[in-house]
Structure 1
Amino acid sequence: MFLTYKILVCDDEKEIVDILSVYLEKEGFEVFKVYDGVEALNFLKENKVHLALIDIMMPKIDGYRVVNELRKDSNIPVIMISAKSRDDDKILGLDIGADDYITKPFNPREVSARVKAMIRRVYKLSESNELKDEIIEIGDLKLDSYNVKVHLRDEELELTSIEYKILKYLMENSGRILTKNQIFEAVWNEAFLGGDNTIMVHISRLREKIEDNSKSPKYLKTIRGLGYRFEKEK
């Protein structure tokens, strides 16, 4: 059975919502339109979507707060769109749980391509006819790639889709030193251009969730000047 993916587009500029909707619908997505942060949160409480495009500067509640509230009980992929292009703004967006960040003005075809790529990465496991029950256990961490869940001892962790992808890649390659380049290209499936704090931000957030003491990590080690290594169970 063919699955139609549902996309929420939230921006207070109606023209932007309309143009993005046109391009996304051409790709076969079902698009829902909202125009402020309150509307977005109310919609997401009552409806299931597969991905949300959220503008930052909106009336009533800004995009940062929308994502922050959403992440309390949902790990759907979120792409932030904003005229704010400073690195600090991008880092803040990623730090509160966004999976990607696109600056205005943008090419709607690029946004559509990013949405397609994110959907493919996050949901391709559920579409495969060759799924296998695969569990990776290292120390107190258990990653279940069939059900896309991670447990620390008996507690299920709330990870964003990108955090899950990074953790899975690291655990699959435990004991190996992995560079930022390798991690980025494996998770985002695109070339790493360097000079970006994206990996560092996600690693930091991941440590907060999987480590008992993020300042002295047991699992996710930084190898100065080289990259990161996920320690094998001793």
Structure 2
Amino acid sequence: MNDKLLLVDDEQGLLDMLKYLLTKEGFQHIQLATNAKEALRYVNEWPYDLIVLDIMLPDMDGFELCRRLREMTKVPILFLSAKTMDIDKIMGLTIGADDYITKPFNPLEVVARIKAQLRRQELAKEGTVHAIDVYAFDTFQLYKQEGRLVVQGQEISCPAKEFELLKFLCEHPNQIFSTQHLYEQIWGQNSYGDENTVMVHVRRLRQKIEADPNNPTLIVNMRGLGYKLAAKKKESMK
């Protein structure tokens, strides 16, 4: 795993134990810090993907350290603390921590929670990647938020369902979808033999984006399987 972790605790034995377990789970980049000063220096020098933080540190209260870290990074922060009062948990989560685990704890649970936070962060990143405004291909661009289709530099009128169908294909380039699946995705109901509706809309889209609608190279019919947008996607624009 390429995720970079920072573990902050004044108990060296606990740090060594967590590092050992995380290493066994495949984590390769683990930095240890036994006080707030070290933690701040490391975060200032390196980009981490997750921070595990104790509250009782020798040189600074962990809550204050969390506040300072939040000014430097948005990565998940997990508190490990002997403070078990609800008010402490609420405080930790309020100032910016993403999770709060009380001592004594099951080390495997800590590892599981670290993985869960990293997985959640990765999903969030993927969501950001897919939340684009413009789908750009070699011959056309689809402006999602503006509802515009531009082909070879010229804006083309595109009715709502045609636009939605093309947008769906743009979101999944080079993937094959049956006419039934496309109908259910765009019209929001079971097809009941309405695949012809999809065929008509595909034909209209081909007339708009294909150089030769009678010999399509973009919206391709895969015989017996369905349709796919056979287009090379350019760098997406947000």
Residues 44-98 of structure 1, C-alpha deviation per residue, up to 9 Å, x if partnerless?
Answer: 1111110000000010112111110011131110000000000000001011100
Q: Which residue of 2 is the match for residue 150 of structure 1?
A: none
- Structure 1 counterpart of 2:45, which letter? E
Q: Distance in 2 between matches of 1:59 and 1:119?
A: 28
Q: State the partner residue of 2:26.
A: 28
Q: Which runs of 5+ in 2 are unaligned?
A: 134-238
Distance 1:25 1:66 in 2: 26
| Aligned mate of 2:16, from 8, 15, 18 | 18
Q: Secondary structure at the match of 2:80?
A: strand
Aligned to 1:60: 59
Query: Is 2:88 aligned against 1:89?
Result: yes
Distance 1:86 1:44 in 2: 29
- Look up the SS of the partner of 2:130 in the other structure: coil
Cα distance change of structure 1 residues 58 and 123 upon mapping to structure 2, 3 Å threshold: same
Mean Cα deviation higher: 119-128 or 51-60: 119-128
Deviation at 1:102, TM superposition (A): 0.3
* Structure 2 partner of 1:72: 71
| 1:133 alignment partner in structure 2 | 131
- 2:7 maps to 9
Deviation of 1:134 after TM superposition, in Å, equals: 4.4
Identity of aligned residues (%): 43
Distance 1:95 1:133 in 2: 28
Give the SS at the match of 1:80: strand
Letter in 2 for 1:92: M
Q: Distance in 2 between matches of 1:34 and 1:105?
A: 20
How many residues were matched structurally? 132
Q: Which residues of structure 1 form unaligned runs of 5+?
A: 136-234
Structure 1 CA distance for aligned equivalents of residues 72 and 80 of structure 2? 22
Read off the aligned partner of 2:16 and give its amino acid letter: D
2:101 maps to 102
Q: 2:77 and 2:35 mapped to 1: Cα distance?
A: 16
List structure 1 runs of 4+ shifted beyond 6 angstroms: none
Q: Which amino acid in structure 2 is aligned with residue 110 of structure 1?
A: E
1:131/1:68 CA distance change after superposition, 3 Å: closer
Corresponding letter in the other structure for 2:8? C
CA distance in 2, matches of 1:125, 1:88: 29
CA distance, structure 2, for counterparts of residue 88 and residue 134 of structure 1: 40
Q: Considering only CA atoms, is the larger Rg found in Structure 1 or Structure 2?
A: 2
| TM-score, L = length of structure 2 | 0.53
Contact conserved, 2:37 with 2:59, CA < 8 A, in 1?
Answer: yes
Distance 1:81 1:111 in 2: 9
TM-score by length of 1: 0.53
CA contact (8 A) 2:44 2:72 kept: no
8 Å CA contact 2:67, 2:95 repeated in 1:
yes
CA distance in 1, matches of 2:124, 2:75: 15
Q: Distance in 1 between matches of 2:15 and 2:85?
A: 23
* Alpha-carbon distance between aligned partners in 1 of 2:99 and 2:43, rounded to the nearest angstrom: 19
CA–CA distance in structure 2, aligned partners of residues 27 and 131 of structure 1? 27
Residue 43, structure 1, aligned to residue 42, structure 2: yes
Give the aligned CA root-mean-square deviation in angstroms. Answer: 1.8
